[in-house]
Amino acid sequence: MRVKKKITWLSIFIPSCFKSENPSDSTPLPKKPKTTKTKKAVSEKSSLLERLYYQSDLSTSSTTLSEDLSNSLPGSNLHVFTLAELRVITHNFSSYNLLGKGGFGPVFKGFIDHKLRPSALKPQPVAIKLLDLDGLQGHREWLTEVIFLGQLRHPHLVKLIGYCCEDEHRLLVYEYMPRGSLENQLFRRYSVSLPWSTRMKIALGAAKGLGFLHEAKKPVIYRDFKASNVLLDSDFTAKLSDFGLAKDGPEGDETHVSTRVMGTRGYAAPEYIMTGHLTTASDVYSFGIVLLELLTGRRAADKSQPRREQNLAGWARPRLKDLRKLRRIMDPRLEGQYSEIGAQKAAALAYQCLSHKPKRRPTMSIVVKTLEALKDLDDILGGTFVYIVPNTDQSDCMHRKHVKVGEERKELKKENGCHHHRKHQMNLLRIEANFAGWLLVCSMVLEILGGKLVCSVCCMLFIRLRKSDVVCYY
Ligand SMILES: Nc1ncnc2c1ncn2[C@@H]1O[C@H](COP(=O)(O)OP(=O)(O)OP(=O)(O)O)[C@@H](O)[C@H]1O
Ligand SMILES: [Mg+2]
């Protein structure tokens, strides 16, 4: 867990780079900043980065850009790839290797083999994001991603391995995350439902990533926390990706950063949407939304739901504090298999994160602590419904209707004898009932045909069966 030293100068320079995002700032971009002799070294870097931010765009010479970046990010270990290399790695960006597509552009899987950079790069799978030149994002998002992820390293942030800028092409090369995004895992129709403990592990991992950004020496506001930006490793370790919208937090006496409102519908904090004032509490709100998604299995904004349920926060928040209501909004795909205490605590946490007053929201370190405490709760409710057929002879064996899965197994072991007997009897009853059913149908047919004798025999046979036994099976 570390922030590279460079975060300090990153934070010194980046705020000015984003001035153009301020809605009140429509003045032309300033030229080179004034420098003083005492800060000569800093100023050199400053002018370099400011030039990148203010003056670079897709038409900037890629050689200049790469040089400026590697001078500005020494020690970042970012590799500069050529487009030809990335073509080889992805089989010419073959559609077979397409992992998905977002606002930046398509994402392809690739494999760096031992021949590519034998001494510098170990063989590994990678994910390569290619800027869609007709899309809404562009050079600035690419640059922000390179600068932030080039310097921030943490087990819960996705690792940027390198980048490519050639002509107008802009690409990013990341470590490959085998389980894709949380969005895919949680909402994909035909995927296996994520178990409760995995959901809590993901929430905790993502909270740690966000906490790391907020508690860095110079805090970073992530601004785009959402299920599709939480990527999952093979063991469901969560890592934050997409730093294209990230911003340095307020400095000194400032309470917020003013920006153009950007982000994703359903996740952005209400005060940020209303005022453009951005704080770390805006990220906490978005975290609360993702926590709600994990609890309910519903999307932050879902047009397929009835109108009043389309906005997840509006629908779910009033139901988070009442246990009965909470049970009703829990993800049905969990099939009741979750820790009830854990769910209550997670729901109370989501409630706080979604407070309309930013100051009432917890900090991410409190969120992390709260979630840490839920990890080991083992009061997982049994989802299996066991119905035992009432039988007067074996009344001592039948004292339970709902049994927790674990207890049920023990119970069954203890009662092995009576269980087998009961099972045998059930089978006999089932056969008898089936047989009676068929006779009844036959007798009705025969009665129609005038066979009154057969009809009465059938009825007698049917009456012989105890009503309750038959009802148990039909
Ligand atoms: N490092 C990675 N490893 C594996 N899959 C990835 C990686 N990065 C992205 N993906 C996959 O690519 C898809 C698109 O990701 P991308 O971040 O470009 O878009 P998004 O998050 O869905 O949308 P947005 O542009 O709004 O952030 C995701 O669904 C994710 O599964
Ligand atoms: Mg994304």
Highest mean pLDDT among 102-106, 251-255, 263-267: 102-106
Ligand 1 within 6 A of CB of 146: no
Query: What is this structure's pTM?
Result: 0.72
> Over 70: is that where the pLDDT of 204 sits?
yes
* CA–CA distance, 333 with 194 (Å, rounded to integer): 8
* CA–CA distance, 380 with 153 (Å, rounded to integer): 35
Task: Please check whether residues 196 and 320 belong to one and the same domain.
Answer: yes
Task: Please check whether residues 167 and 303 belong to one and the same domain.
Answer: no
Does any domain span residue 188?
yes
> Over 90: is that where the pLDDT of 30 sits?
no
Does any domain span residue 144?
yes
Task: Please check whether residues 189 and 324 belong to one and the same domain.
Answer: yes
Highest mean pLDDT among 22-26, 46-50, 211-215: 211-215
Of 150, 175, 200, the one marking the end of a domain is: 175
Of 175, 190, 208, the one marking the end of a domain is: 175
Does any domain span residue 311?
yes
Task: Please check whether residues 266 and 337 belong to one and the same domain.
Answer: yes
Task: Please check whether residues 153 and 75 belong to one and the same domain.
Answer: yes
What is the CATH number for 191?
1.10.510.10
- Of 239, 59, 54, 277, the closest CA to residue 160 belongs to 239
Given this model, what pLDDT does residue 130 score? 95
Task: Please check whether residues 341 and 453 belong to one and the same domain.
Answer: no
Task: Please check whether residues 221 and 291 belong to one and the same domain.
Answer: yes
Does any domain span residue 31?
no
Cβ burial, residue 169 (10 Å; 0-12/13-18/19+): middle
The CA 449 to ligand 1 mean position distance, Å, reads 71
* CA–CA distance, 265 with 226 (Å, rounded to integer): 10
Does any domain span residue 379?
no
Ligand 1 within 6 A of CB of 174: yes
Task: Please check whether residues 212 and 312 belong to one and the same domain.
Answer: yes
The CA 302 to ligand 1 mean position distance, Å, reads 20
Does any domain span residue 36?
no
Task: Please check whether residues 119 and 77 belong to one and the same domain.
Answer: yes
The CA 185 to ligand 1 mean position distance, Å, reads 12
* CA–CA distance, 319 with 354 (Å, rounded to integer): 13
Indicate the top mutation candidate among 181, 184, 240, 290 to test ligand 1's pocket, ranked by most ligand atoms within 8 A of CB.
Answer: 181
* CA–CA distance, 301 with 304 (Å, rounded to integer): 9
* CA–CA distance, 307 with 332 (Å, rounded to integer): 20
Least trusted range by pLDDT, from 82-91, 132-141, 459-468: 459-468
Higher pLDDT, 296 or 463: 296
Task: Please check whether residues 158 and 187 belong to one and the same domain.
Answer: no
Given this model, what pLDDT does residue 462 score? 53
Task: Please check whether residues 186 and 170 belong to one and the same domain.
Answer: no
Hunting for tokens 């490793």 — which residue is that? 233
Highest mean pLDDT among 185-199, 246-260, 313-327: 313-327
Given this model, what pLDDT does residue 8 score? 33
Indicate the top mutation candidate among 89, 158, 228 to test ligand 1's pocket, ranked by most ligand atoms within 8 A of CB.
Answer: 228
What are the Cα distances from residue 86, in Å, to 81, 165, 170? 7, 11, 11
Instruction: Count Cβ atoms below 10 Å from residue 308 Cβ, excluding itself.
Output: 8
Reported confidence tier of residue 450, pLDDT bands at 50, 70, 90: low
Does any domain span residue 395?
no
> Over 60: is that where the pLDDT of 402 sits?
no
DSSP string, 268-280: S-HHHHHH-EE-H
Over range 129-135, report the average pLDDT. Answer: 91
Least trusted range by pLDDT, from 120-129, 285-294, 332-341, 447-456: 447-456
Higher pLDDT, 420 or 140: 140
How many independent structural domains does the chain possess?
3
Higher pLDDT, 310 or 67: 310
Domain that holds residue 122: 9-16+47-175
> Over 80: is that where the pLDDT of 263 sits?
no
Higher pLDDT, 339 or 1: 339
Does any domain span residue 416?
no
Task: Please check whether residues 289 and 431 belong to one and the same domain.
Answer: no
Given this model, what pLDDT does residue 151 score? 86
